[in-house]
Structure 1
Amino acid sequence: MKKKIIFLCIILFSYTTFALEFNPIKAYKIRKKNIFNSPEIIQFFSFLCPYCYDLEKTYNIRKLIRKKINQNIKIKTYHVNFLGGELGEILTKTWIIAEQMGVEEKIIIPIFKGVQESHTLNNIDDIRAIFLEKTGISIRKYDQFWNSFLVKILVQKNNKEIKKIDLNYVPAMLINGKYTIKYSKLEMLFKNHFSKNYIELIKFLLLKNNKN
């Protein structure tokens, strides 16, 4: 009986501690201007952003969100092109092509690694070569996508969305068109339980009344 009481006390203490520890107010901010008619979750990243690479490599953020968040929630990921000049624009287009082909998981880490670790991806030819190597897609099909009118329109839409949100930093996440997550603050507060609290914060903001 004593063991059961002790066990229940431990559970209660752990839950209370977590409730006190997790203060979501410190880890997000409310935008002054809401973005309407957008997916519930919008993620922004760049292959040229070291922190974006760390989030993907260490926490596998995108997979984590898809696994833990309701599948009915709309999620969109944009690659920004305000970093890296021409290379940033090439990487934006590359990401859009990967999405259209459904090969994001095959190329995201190799491109991050090639850009930031080995420094072997420096131009369009390098990126094209790694894309073809990791996906097994034919040169003909790749070129069709690269030169297609659809991809051109999607690049324009990508850049228009980033401009509309008035974004000038990454990584960034927009929830319900109103709330943005402070990644560095979240990681500082919950260094040892970042992934768990990250998902809890997203769920909290998804359910949060937009009138608040």
Structure 2
Amino acid sequence: MKKIIFFIILIYSCKVNSETFIEGKHYIKLPHRIKNATTITEYFSFNCRYCYQLKKELNLYSNLNNNVKINSYHLEFFKNKQEKILTHMWSIAKLIHAEKKIILPIFEFVNKKKNEINFKTIKKIFIKKTKISNKEYDKLWKSYSVLNAISENKKQKKKVYLSYVPQIIINGKYLILTESLNTDSIKNFILEYTNIIKYLIKK
């Protein structure tokens, strides 16, 4: 019985690995390659419930090789004070490499209590999850490195002409067309999404 199950898994794995993704249908090649881009450049918004669901289910950090570098940008579509606070906080998280610790807690808070997003509430969650001090957070908030990161964050939307999130660009030149992927179920979508990411990394 075990041999049969293994054989079925092997056939299925071969099918997944041999899956062909078509340029223009599943992804497009950007007219200009993004200079100095990491292997994966991810664009999201804490206000996007699809980004939240994808982050919970896909978990790029665990599904890919540890050598794959990911750079995530928080985009502001509404350009309000709340989004600016979230971008500022995310820039601090990236600077101290705390992305994994705070992204889901912040997503959960934003999606449940949108009206309570302010400097104090976000700071409280950040400190609780990262264990940094109140003084250190305030220092980072005003630091040149964080302000410079925020400036770069603002340029990203114009640089790649993004009109919606979530979006992922591979190797600075391939933009995945998420609307083309299998949406019959979240499981199928995540499987296909993971496979196209791996496919484009090797391309």
Quote the offset at 1:19 in angstroms: 6.0
Equivalent in the alignment of 2:62: 64
Equivalent in the alignment of 1:181: 176
Give the Cα–Cα distance (whole angstroms) in 2 for the partners of residues 110 and 40 of structure 1: 25
Of 190-199 and 157-166, the range deviating more from structure 2? 190-199
Quote the offset at 1:70 in angstroms: 5.6
Offset from partner CA, 1:65-120 (integer Å, 9 cap, x none) = 4xx2360x432111112235221111111011012222222221111111112436
SS of equivalent residue, structure 1 residue 188 = coil
> Structure 2 vs 1, CA of residues 113 and 35 (structure 1 numbering), >3 Å: closer, same or farther?
same
Whether the 8 Å contact between 1:46 and 1:83 is mirrored in structure 2 is: no
Give the Cα–Cα distance (whole angstroms) in 2 for the partners of residues 49 and 132 of structure 1: 23
Whether the 8 Å contact between 1:28 and 1:179 is mirrored in structure 2 is: yes
> Structure 2 vs 1, CA of residues 69 and 187 (structure 1 numbering), >3 Å: closer, same or farther?
farther
Whether the 8 Å contact between 1:48 and 1:83 is mirrored in structure 2 is: no
SS of equivalent residue, structure 2 residue 71 = strand
The answer for unaligned runs of 5 or more in structure 2 is none
> Structure 2 vs 1, CA of residues 196 and 123 (structure 1 numbering), >3 Å: closer, same or farther?
same
SS of equivalent residue, structure 1 residue 42 = strand
Note if 1:24 corresponds to 2:21: yes
Larger Rg: 1
Equivalent in the alignment of 1:204: 199
> Structure 2 vs 1, CA of residues 38 and 16 (structure 1 numbering), >3 Å: closer, same or farther?
closer
Give the Cα–Cα distance (whole angstroms) in 2 for the partners of residues 103 and 15 of structure 1: 34
Equivalent in the alignment of 1:103: 98
Quote the offset at 1:132 in angstroms: 2.0
Whether the 8 Å contact between 1:41 and 1:176 is mirrored in structure 2 is: yes
The alignment yields a C-alpha RMSD, in angstroms, of 2.8
The answer for unaligned runs of 5 or more in structure 1 is none
SS of equivalent residue, structure 1 residue 163 = helix
Match of 1:113 among 91, 96, 108: 108
Give the Cα–Cα distance (whole angstroms) in 2 for the partners of residues 8 and 122 of structure 1: 49
Offset from partner CA, 1:142-192 (integer Å, 9 cap, x none) = 000001111111111121233212223110111122211122432427743
Task: Give 1:54-203 correspondences, 5 Å limit.
Answer: 54-59=53-58, 61-65=59-63, 68-69=64-65, 71=67, 73-119=68-114, 121-188=116-183, 191-203=186-198
Whether the 8 Å contact between 2:170 and 2:201 is mirrored in structure 1 is: yes
Give the Cα–Cα distance (whole angstroms) in 1 for the partners of residues 127 and 13 of structure 2: 49
Whether the 8 Å contact between 1:48 and 1:84 is mirrored in structure 2 is: no
Aligned identity (percent) is 37
Structure 1's consecutive aligned runs of 4 or more residues displaced over 6 angstroms after TM superposition are 6-9
SS of equivalent residue, structure 1 residue 29 = strand
Instruction: Give, as a single letter, the amino acid of the residue that structure 2 aligns with 1:91.
Output: L
Question: If the length of structure 2 is used for normalisation, what is the TM-score?
Answer: 0.83
